[in-house]
Amino acid sequence: MQAVIQAGGRGTRLSSVTKNVIPKPMVEIAGKPLLAWQMEELRANGFTDIILIVGYLGHVIQDDFGDGGRLGVRIRYIEERADEPLGTAGALAYLPPFLTGDTFAFVYADAFFSVDFERMMAFHREKGSAATLFVHPNSHSFDSDLVVLDEAGRVTAFDSKTNDRSSYDYENIVNAGVFLFSRSICDNVPIPRKCALEKDVLQSMLDHGAPVYGYRSTEYVKDAGTPERLAAVERDLTIGIPQKRNLKHPQKAIFLDRDGTLNRYVGLLTQPDELVLEDTVLEAVRAINASEYLAICCTNQPVVARGLCTIEDVNAIHRRLQTLLGRGGAYLDDIIYCPHHPDKGYPGENPAYKIDCNCRKPKTGMIDTMAERHHIDLAPSWMIGDTTRDIQTAKNAGMRSVLVRTGEAGNDRAFAVKAECEAETLMEGVQWILRRNE
């Protein structure tokens, strides 16, 4: 299989590291150039034919890697003029003579990744996609280009980081810089010209109805394009987080209740502006994000069945939750909720959701769905919540649990169960789990 690495940029954000004597893909992480890490990961996924697009100081890359023989790959080069860079997509015009198949991977040279490309390829083929973007939440969504997806995962819009987002909430879905493309994408750049992949090429494909999809994954793809982010990647690498987050391996998760755990308990929450984060939530979720655990919100929302909210209302509340977390440098890997309630007789109730489902906690339907979606091993995973219903859910799913003394603080007494730990705050509970894991 073939992969293309866009390595032609000047890397101005990393100039304090590169000193303008090496190109940004040659910055070292744990004693090895970032570009070498990328090519070794690609080779491990079966990509042995690699095309490098080089420009500024490109000879440094060519002198170091040559034909790729010492890495067990074949490398060929497309050279942009250093004084006339073509942006992130202009060199697509040069690709067709190099391509041997219908699909190729395309990655930005400042992305450190550990990804099961077989899963991503299966998604790409199942959707009949012309372009598939690896998308995920990240800790700096406020300065990232966001991707808007429909329920099937099809890209409907791009939300540029230059937009003023102060007046609206958003889903934390970020384009990570790893792609699968059909060779037909090159038709959008018939001659070499300076253009941007997202703004020009992919947006044009959306405008013309081409199938462009977002592949959502919790795997490790991090921007290493600033000194701070480069240092964070190196820290993660030294403790094995990139490899542990690869979906070739079972994952561990911390499932988080919403009302009373992540946000302050106000009874039946029906409006986004009613959502206020609990104390210590930002630091607690950031601690999970920096660990090998996934952070997944799992919540009962009977407000839909009661007729107090629509599904879109709940989604709007969750966009508010993601926005508040994102502003504080934290993110949830996923959110799942149950809109059902089995008891009938409420004024204005929605009969379509008045059912005895298998997803309402303490049943395990939501947990099981997340375990299948994210390849989660439940035995080493945890549930944190403020009610005995949450603790019973954990026991039913074969997980361990922490009861936080926020929200209802276990005073619901719905189930005669005891958690492995009781904590005053979410941060205290997360720290307790992480210490045990160490």
- Nearest partner of 256 among 397, 386, 414, judged by Cα: 386
Residues 256, 197, single domain; the answer is no
Provide the pLDDT confidence category of residue 83 given band limits of 50, 70 and 90. confident
Q: Is the pLDDT of residue 19 over 80?
A: no
Checking 17-24 for CB contacts under 8 A at 24+ apart, the result is 17/227, 17/230, 21/57, 22/57, 22/60, 23/54, 23/56, 23/57, 23/58, 23/60, 23/61, 24/109, 24/110, 24/225
Domain boundary among 210, 234, 258: 234
Evaluate whether 123 touches 215 at the Cβ level (below 8 Å). Answer: yes
Does 107 reside within a domain? yes
Residue 345 is predicted with a pLDDT of 85
Q: At what angle do helices 311-327 and 281-289 cross, to 10 degrees?
A: 80
Q: For residue 53, list its beta bridge partners.
A: 6, 78
Does 141 reside within a domain? yes
CA 141, 146, 151, 154 torsion-angle sign: negative
Does 240 reside within a domain? no
Average pLDDT over the chain, rounded to an integer: 95
Does 241 reside within a domain? no
C-alpha 92/C-alpha 185 separation (Å) is: 8
Arithmetic mean of pLDDT, 414-420:
96
Does 239 reside within a domain? no
HEC-encoded secondary structure of 172-220: CCEEEEEEEEEHHHHHHCCCCCCCCHHHHHHHHHHHCCCCEEEEECCCE
The model's pLDDT over 333-351, given as tens digits with 9 standing for 90+, comes to: 999 999 999 998 888 999 9
Residues 291, 209, single domain; the answer is no
C-alpha 161/C-alpha 141 separation (Å) is: 8
Domain boundary among 184, 205, 234: 234
Residues 365, 259, single domain; the answer is yes
Residues 167, 266, single domain; the answer is no
Query: Which CATH number is 336's domain given?
Result: 3.40.50.1000
Query: Which CATH number is 91's domain given?
Result: 3.90.550.10
Residue 82 is predicted with a pLDDT of 74
Residue 156 is predicted with a pLDDT of 97
Does 21 reside within a domain? yes
- Nearest partner of 317 among 258, 265, 275, judged by Cα: 275
Residue 167 is predicted with a pLDDT of 92
Does 242 reside within a domain? no
Residues 187, 307, single domain; the answer is no
pTM of the model: 0.95
Residue 11 is predicted with a pLDDT of 67
Evaluate whether 258 touches 383 at the Cβ level (below 8 Å). Answer: no
Range of 371's domain?
250-437
Residues 55, 158, single domain; the answer is yes
The model's pLDDT over 232-291, given as tens digits with 9 standing for 90+, comes to: 999 999 999 999 999 999 999 999 999 999 999 999 999 999 999 999 999 999 999 999
Residue 8 is predicted with a pLDDT of 84
Residues 130, 268, single domain; the answer is no
Tokens found for residue 320: 């508010």
Residues taking part in catalysis: 257, 259
Residue 102 is predicted with a pLDDT of 96
Residue 383 is predicted with a pLDDT of 98
Domain boundary among 179, 199, 234: 234
Percent of residues, the chain, with pLDDT higher than 90: 89
The model's pLDDT over 138-155, given as tens digits with 9 standing for 90+, comes to: 998 888 899 999 999 999
Which distant-in-sequence residues (6+ apart) come within 8 Å of 82 by Cβ?
A: 55, 56, 57, 58
- The b/e string for 255-277 (b: 16+ C-beta within 10 A; e otherwise) is bbbbbbbbbbbeeebeebeebeb
Evaluate whether 305 touches 341 at the Cβ level (below 8 Å). Answer: yes
Residues 229, 355, single domain; the answer is no
Residues 225, 254, single domain; the answer is no
Provide the pLDDT confidence category of residue 18 given band limits of 50, 70 and 90. low
Tokens found for residue 98: 């190099």
Strands laid side by side in the 293-300 sheet: 334-338, 293-300, 252-256, 382-385, 400-404, 421-423
Evaluate whether 217 touches 333 at the Cβ level (below 8 Å). Answer: no
Residues 87, 195, single domain; the answer is yes
Which of 22-31, 229-238, 385-394 has maximum average pLDDT? 385-394
Arithmetic mean of pLDDT, 55-82:
93
C-alpha 119/C-alpha 108 separation (Å) is: 20
- Per-residue DSSP letter, 278: P
- Per-residue DSSP letter, 375: T
Does 131 reside within a domain? yes
**Phi, psi (deg, nearest 5) at residue 110:** -105, 15
More confident of the two residues 217 and 15:
217
C-alpha 279/C-alpha 335 separation (Å) is: 20
Residues 426, 337, single domain; the answer is yes
Q: Based on the structure, what is the number of domains in the chain?
A: 2
C-alpha 293/C-alpha 245 separation (Å) is: 8
Residues 199, 307, single domain; the answer is no
Residue 384 is predicted with a pLDDT of 98
| Alpha-carbon distances, residue 230 vs 10, 194, 217, 304 (angstroms) | 16, 27, 21, 44
